[in-house]
A and B are shown apart, each in its own frame.
Chain A
Amino acid sequence: MLLTLIPLLTLSVYLFLAVKIFEDDKVAYVFDSSSNVSGAMASQVKAQLNSLLNEAKPLFQDYLTNNEFTAQSRLIFSSGADLEAVVAFPWNAEHNKFEKSVWVEKTPHATEGILLGLEKFLPEYLTELEQSGRLVKVPYLDDRLFIFEKIKGEGESKGIVFLVIASLPEVAEMFRAQSSQKLYLISQAGTVLFGPDRSAGTQLQALFPLRFLDNKNSKVAQGAETLTDTHNTEWLVSYSRAGFGDLLVVSSIEKKRALGAVEILIRKSLIFFGVLLAVTAIISLLASNSLTGALTQLFEATRKVAEGHFDIRVKVKSSDEVGTLADNFNLMAAEVSRLLDETAQKARMESELQTAKTVQETLFPETEAKIGPLSIAGYYEPASECGGDWWHYCQVGQKIFLWIGDATGHGAPAALITSAAKSASTIIERLNINPAQALELLNRSIYDVSKGRIMMTFFLASFDPETGELTYANASHEAPFLMKKSEQPLKKKDLIPLNEVNNPRLGQARDTKYKQTTVKVDPGDMILFYTDGIPDIRNAQKETWGEREFLKALISVNKDYPSAQQSIHRLVQLIQDYRQGEVLVDDVTFFVVKNDASV
């Protein structure tokens, strides 16, 4: 609605202002034009009448000189084309008034009758003449114009009044001409001398209230006014003083006719305005419906999103800002939806990984144990939720089996292989077999599970408490270090890698055969089993611990041949001191076995 009203209001204001400006401009133009016309007419009248007077002045002079119109005057008179008659009214002291004496005339005996007809008006005329010195009258409804001119000779107190009668058909015709603009030649009293439509002889004030006539002493030569006649019709009236007697030329035009073009403009503008308004209203309504419809859709969609329905989409096809907003909303909703899915997926996976971690933890033995003469202590920390390292110990008959392995990579896939290894070991434990045979079975199990994609290094040893012999087989795993008990503190050269046999990793080939060998583990001797994650430990500065530091630490913590538990605790402490909380890059597993049998 607002979108419709605003253009409507704007266009209305525009139309009003445009019409007002145009009307004012048109009025000004009409005033200007009619003033020019009245001015031109006034000039022409003045020139014509002055010309008449100029023709008559020799006659005036002749009469003043000779007290009659001589033959020369009559000759001059006869050559004046417009002059009808010139009459002299000298002062009759006896009668105390101006009285006609002599005259010259074009039409013989015509003047006598005219003067008789004027006789009753003459006193009034002469009274007016006393005030103005020059009087112009059109006493008959024809083209004749009467000029009363009073001339005083030297030493005369009253002077002589001359009446010049002239026929001015061209001038009269100019004022009678029919057009939208009416011209009047009037006297200061408002009497129409010449004018259209039989107006001659009437008072122009009867038509319009001519305010400019009110001030008889006004020196304003030209002016214009908007006047309302008795019929309530507005007229645009302009006037110009002729500068001859009290004559004025008045031009009038009905305002309605003058502003006819404005009315046409208004009519056409109204039609255009109506069409424009209709089109604007239709477009506004369509745009409004489109806009509000799209916004309503967006509002509904955002409400649904707020309720948690992120699969909502809006169908707005416009290419404007609302369309872009709708597209962005759809993108946002899709992205939120995707992120929610991902988050849910991630949460599910994390939950599953947590479950796997919990399950995998059950694959590992107690970190400290005492089986027969062997003390065992271990440590395990995966690099992520699940790890690829696994260690284990168990007693099979009289023998104690020690297991450690490291699957390719780490994380869930590697953890699954450790699970397979644990399962296989559970069965193998029930068999009375040696480490080499156990690795063969374990290899086959890993290979069948991973199909050669994931492998596992493995070291398996069995300790016979009876003989003190450790029999081991290796599937490419880091060789454990045997630390022989000595009276001297442990040194680097005392670290004996158990690497006399080595064979391919578990899972590399299905039918791999494994060799085994035997080494003596005397009372007091210790063995460190570990995976390759230890040297890869990094500190907060991303510096790797390295093999050298690892071996130094190993020697340091075991220099006094401590218990297996002490050995592990010391090594863990050194590792944590170095790491300073830094995450692991690989799983870390190690355990120490000590033969605590008495000598």
Chain B
Amino acid sequence: MPKFEMKTNKAGEKLNVVMSGSIDEDADFTQVNLGGAAQIEIDMGGLKSINSCGIREWIKWMGAAPSAKITFNNCPKVIVDQINMVDGFLPANAKVLSFFVPYYNDESGTEKNVLFRMGTEFTENAVTPPAEVKDDEGHPMEMDVIESKYFKFIKK
């Protein structure tokens, strides 16, 4: 399991956090204090996994900034799954601005993660997937998720 790491950059009331690794019981969120930040941007592109103990720590950490405007960027599938499944993982004051959707081609076995961006591939209550996703060899790829489950958080 890659070690969990956070890199921060605070500019005024805006806090940027870049996360990577695995969120588990050893993840130390206390290294970044969310208090005092009015706007928090979290880049989750580097996260690889999260377990139930990590979810508990995550929710506790998110609860430290109840009034801040929080945005999630580049959410990988493991995070989207948790957003959909665990109530409170995505706080009420948080929005997902971009997330990855896995595609695959069953015949060639190729996989690809396509970034869905707010305002382009999805809005606050609707998803508009790309008309066609192809792998590097031009084979058409299909979405590797159950849409009614994976996009559930958008339609909430």
| CB pairs A–B below 8 angstroms (14 shown) | A406-B52, A408-B53, A409-B51, A457-B85, A475-B87, A476-B85, A476-B87, A476-B88, A495-B146, A497-B148, A499-B148, A503-B87, A504-B86, A548-B104
> In the complex, what residue of chain A is closest to B102 when comparing beta carbons?
A548
Please provide the 10 A-B residue pairs with the shortest distance between their CB atoms, ordered closest to farther. Answer: A497-B149, A476-B86, A408-B52, A504-B87, A502-B87, A476-B87, A503-B87, A504-B88, A499-B152, A548-B144
Q: Tell me, rounded to whole Å, the shortest Cβ–Cβ distance linking B55 to chain A.
A: 8
Give Cα distance in the complex from A19 to B155, angstroms: 115
* B86 adjacent to A505 (CB under 8 Å): yes
Contacts of A475 in B (CB 8 A): 87
Q: Tell me, rounded to whole Å, the shortest Cβ–Cβ distance linking B58 to chain A.
A: 12
Q: Which of A408, A479, A496, A548 contacts B85 (CB 8 A)?
A: A479
> In the complex, what residue of chain A is closest to B89 when comparing beta carbons?
A476
Q: Mark A172-213, 1 if CB is under 8 A from B, else 0.
A: 000000000000000000000000000000000000000000
Contacts of A457 in B (CB 8 A): 52, 85-86
Contacts of A440 in B (CB 8 A): none
Give Cα distance in the complex from A503 to B86, angstroms: 8
Flag whether A149 is at the interface (Cβ < 8 A): no
Give Cα distance in the complex from A102 to B152, angstroms: 171
Contacts of A496 in B (CB 8 A): 148
Residues of A within 8 A of B (CB): 406, 408-409, 455, 457, 475-479, 492, 495-497, 499, 502-505, 508, 547-548, 551
Give Cα distance in the complex from A409 to B54, angstroms: 10
Give Cα distance in the complex from A505 to B88, angstroms: 9
Give Cα distance in the complex from A475 to B146, angstroms: 20
Contacts of A492 in B (CB 8 A): 146
Give Cα distance in the complex from A477 to B86, angstroms: 7
Contacts of A547 in B (CB 8 A): 145
* A502 adjacent to B85 (CB under 8 Å): yes
Contacts of B104 in A (CB 8 A): 548
Q: Tell me, rounded to whole Å, the shortest Cβ–Cβ distance linking B148 to chain A.
A: 6
Task: Taking A476-B86, A499-B152, A503-B87 as given, write out 9 further A-B residue pairs in contact, using a Cβ cutoff of 8 Å, ordered by the A residue number.
Answer: A408-B52, A409-B53, A457-B52, A457-B86, A478-B85, A496-B148, A499-B148, A505-B87, A505-B88
Give Cα distance in the complex from A503 to B85, angstroms: 9
> In the complex, what residue of chain A is closest to B85 when comparing beta carbons?
A476
Flag whether B84 is at the interface (Cβ < 8 A): yes
Contacts of B53 in A (CB 8 A): 408-409
- Chain A-chain B contacts (Cβ-Cβ < 8 Å), number: 48
Give Cα distance in the complex from A408 to B85, angstroms: 14
Q: Tell me, rounded to whole Å, the shortest Cβ–Cβ distance linking B91 to chain A.
A: 12
Q: Mark B112-156, 1 if CB is under 8 A from A, else 0.
A: 000000000000000000000000000000001110110010000
- The answer to whether A508 and B59 touch (CB under 8 A), given A492-B146, A499-B149, A551-B146, is yes
Give Cα distance in the complex from A505 to B137, angstroms: 44
Give Cα distance in the complex from A14 to B56, angstroms: 86
Contacts of B85 in A (CB 8 A): 457, 476-479, 502
Give Cα distance in the complex from A214 to B65, angstroms: 133
Contacts of B59 in A (CB 8 A): 508
Q: Tell me, rounded to whole Å, the shortest Cβ–Cβ distance linking B79 to chain A.
A: 14
Give Cα distance in the complex from A476 to B85, angstroms: 5
Among A477, A478, A505, the one with the most B-chain Cβ atoms within 10 Å of its Cβ is A505
* B56 adjacent to A408 (CB under 8 Å): yes
Q: Mark B64-87, 1 if CB is under 8 A from A, else 0.
A: 000000000000000000001111
Contacts of B149 in A (CB 8 A): 479, 497, 499
* B144 adjacent to A455 (CB under 8 Å): no
> In the complex, what residue of chain B is closest to A535 when comparing beta carbons?
B81
Give Cα distance in the complex from A274 to B59, angstroms: 90
Q: Mark B41-58, 1 if CB is under 8 A from A, else 0.
A: 000000000011100100
Contacts of A495 in B (CB 8 A): 146
Contacts of A551 in B (CB 8 A): 146
Give Cα distance in the complex from A547 to B86, angstroms: 17
Give Cα distance in the complex from A495 to B149, angstroms: 10
Give Cα distance in the complex from A502 to B144, angstroms: 23
